[in-house]
């Protein structure tokens, strides 16, 4: 893992490269994604079955697209009882956090003044689709994080799509998590074709109003391309972590946290920023040691070599400045007094305070959502939450005298903007 020191060649170039990480588009990939989306739009279920066989290597029938209730019931028998209890505990904690959020967001308000009534109604979306990565992997935590805020918001129907495993089944833990939070329907389909099905609808899968959840670059590109036909949460990129640390946190802890994100993906971003050269050297040595026994060693090594870095800076204040430039998905403040620097954090999806708050606890059951902005988009976007499943509707009501009070003002606007009909719509009522 490279070590770069502020002021030395390569330091600024690395930061500049990382800041641009979200701006590259693969046109060949986009053309392929468009082709699949268009095919799903035209052929519906037939296209879903074709791509599930061609891309996932799983042959299923139309009848198997929707996961049956007996499959969900059987899943409880395949999940160890201890893990089932943990899933329930996580669901309760995540629901509690999002219900607190919902109490502030769900509701309407009304303003009255002489002859005027202005109302804003807050209503949940009717139908939402959540994408849960699958195939060879299993992510029940994503089911909880995507589904719970939708349910808390009051979404009428929440559907889940997830790629089938090689033998055609769905991870039992994913099914149990979906059952615990009341997912309405589960469909055995993934990839671009699943995004197409949720966007356009097929004979088996209804179209939705919004699609949320992470996926690979094909899924991310598909979500970007269908935005406008449906809403999406965000275009998620590879996982990211930036750790700001002084010498007070054990180097083995910091190394473990960097590896925890590097093991996600060869393109994951793991960065340590520290004012201590000794800490930098110790962490680099710890990473080599811990990687030796890691099951996903090749993935983590590729990630750390390709995009990882340890940046040595003058002081913690400069470290915070560097972290704000990167605007990471996850930011750990492994510092003696982390709260002292919270006000200086401008851009991060989630901030983990102190050496006893590893990013991993946030991934699973701390309570706040783990679906977070990546690729620097934390500069302008937020974690997935209850508000993402709500929409606002404005109501306006004027009586005759109230409208008359604004006649001249409307005339001024209409004349300036050259929209005579706007003023006519007010004047005809006065006459």
Residue 178's CB: how many other CB atoms inside 10 A? 26
User: How many structural domains does the chain have?
Assistant: 3
Do residues 127 and 272 share a domain? no
- The answer to whether residues 135 and 226 belong to one domain is yes
Residues 167, 243, single domain; the answer is: no
Res 108: pLDDT: 86
Same domain for 34 and 18: no
Catalytic residue flag (residue 24): no
Q: How many helices (H) and strands (E) does the chain have?
A: 17, 14
Total number of residues shown for the chain:
431
Instruction: Answer yes or no: is 381 within a domain.
Output: no
Mark the ranges of the chain whose per-residue pLDDT is less than 70: 24
CB contact at 8 A, 350 and 362: yes
Residue 389 lies in a domain: no
Nearest to 305 by CA among 332, 267, 278: 267
pLDDT of 89 reads 96
CA 288 to each of CA 90, 118, 253, 273: distance values in angstroms, whole numbers, following the listed order: 32, 63, 13, 18
One domain, residues 68 and 213: yes
Answer whether residue 163 is part of any domain. Answer: yes
Q: Report the pLDDT value the prediction gives residue 369, as an integer from 0 to 100.
A: 97
Whether 42 is covered by a domain: the verdict is: yes
Q: Are residues 228 and 350 in the same domain?
A: no
3-state helix, strand and coil shares in percent for the chain, rounded to the nearest 5: 50, 15, 35
Catalytic residue among 263, 286, 329, 332: 329
Q: What is the pLDDT of residue 252?
A: 97
**Domain encompassing residue 292:** 3-22+238-367
Is 206 part of a structural domain of the chain? yes
Q: Does residue 98 lie in a domain region?
A: yes
* Contact predicate 263/363, CB 8 Å: no
The 8-class DSSP code of residue 409 comes to: H
In a domain, 64, yes or no: yes
Same structural domain, 32 and 108: yes
Whether residue 140 is found in the same domain as residue 105 = yes
Domain boundary among 198, 232, 266: 232
17 is catalytic: no
> DSSP string of 202-219?
-SSS---SEEE----HHH
- Domain identity same for 187 and 334: no
What is the spatial distance between Cα 280 and Cα 302, in angstroms, rounded to a whole number? 19
Which residue among 344, 367, 390 closes a domain? 367
- Tell me the CATH number at 141: 3.40.50.1980
Domain end point (choices 182, 217, 232): 232
Residue 190 lies in a domain: yes
- Regarding whether 168 and 133 lie in a shared domain, the answer is yes
* Structural contact between residues 302 and 25, judged by C-beta atoms closer than 8 angstroms: no
- So what's the pLDDT on residue 2? 94
Can you tell me the distance from the alpha carbon of 329 to that of 75, in angstroms, rounded to the nearest whole number?
32
- What would the two tokens of residue 325 be? 């430039």
Residues 100, 192: one domain? yes
343 and 295, same domain (yes or no): yes
Q: Using alpha carbons only, what angle is made at residue 233 by residues 139 and 218, rounded to the nearest 5 degrees?
A: 65
**Among 311, 318, 269, which residue's Cα sits nearest to residue 3?**
311
Question: Of the residues 264, 330, 359, 370, which is catalytic?
Answer: 330
């Amino acid at each position: 893992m490279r070590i770069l020191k502020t002021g030395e060649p390569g330091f600024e170039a690395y930061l500049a490269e990382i800041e641009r990480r979200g701006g590259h588009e693969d046109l060949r990939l986009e053309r392929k994604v468009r082709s699949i989306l268009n095919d799903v739009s035209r052929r519906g279920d037939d296209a879903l079955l074709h791509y599930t066989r061609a891309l996932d290597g799983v042959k299923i029938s139309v009848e198997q697209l929707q996961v049956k209730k007996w499959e969900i019931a059987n899943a409880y028998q395949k999940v160890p009882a201890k893990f089932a209890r943990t899933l329930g505990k996580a669901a309760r904690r995540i629901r509690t956090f999002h219900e607190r959020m919902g109490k502030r967001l769900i509701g309407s308000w009304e303003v009255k003044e002489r002859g005027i009534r202005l109302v804003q109604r807050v209503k949940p979306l009717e139908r939402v689709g959540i994408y849960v990565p699958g195939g060879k992997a299993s992510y029940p935590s994503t089911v909880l994080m995507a589904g719970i805020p939708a349910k808390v918001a009051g979404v009428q129907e929440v559907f889940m799509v997830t790629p089938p495993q090689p033998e055609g089944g769905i991870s039992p833990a994913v099914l149990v998590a979906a059952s615990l939070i009341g997912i309405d329907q589960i469909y055995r389909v993934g990839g671009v074709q699943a995004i197409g099905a949720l966007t356009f609808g097929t004979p088996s899968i209804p179209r939705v109003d919004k699609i949320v959840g992470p996926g690979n670059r094909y899924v991310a590109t598909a979500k970007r391309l269908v935005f406008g036909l449906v809403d999406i949460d965000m275009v998620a990129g590879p996982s990211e972590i930036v750790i700001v640390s002084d010498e007070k946190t054990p180097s083995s802890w910091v190394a473990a946290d960097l590896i925890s994100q590097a093991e996600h993906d060869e393109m994951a971003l793991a960065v340590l920023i520290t004012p201590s050269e000794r800490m930098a050297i110790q962490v680099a040595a710890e990473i080599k040691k811990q990687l030796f026994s890691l099951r996903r060693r090749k993935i983590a090594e590729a990630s750390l070599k390709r995009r990882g870095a340890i940046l040595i800076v003058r002081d913690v204040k400069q470290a915070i400045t560097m972290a704000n430039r990167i605007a990471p998905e996850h930011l750990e403040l492994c510092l003696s007094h982390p709260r002292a620097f919270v006000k200086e954090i401008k851009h991060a999806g989630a901030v983990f305070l102190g050496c006893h708050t590893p990013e991993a606890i946030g991934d699973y059951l701390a309570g706040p959502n783990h679906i977070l902005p990546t690729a620097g988009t934390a500069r302008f976007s937020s974690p997935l939450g209850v508000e993402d499943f709500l929409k606002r509707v404005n109501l306006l009501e004027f009586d005759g005298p109230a409208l008359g009070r604004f006649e001249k003002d409307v005339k001024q606007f209409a004349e300036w903007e050259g929209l005579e009909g706007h003023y006519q719509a007010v004047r005809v009522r006065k006459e």
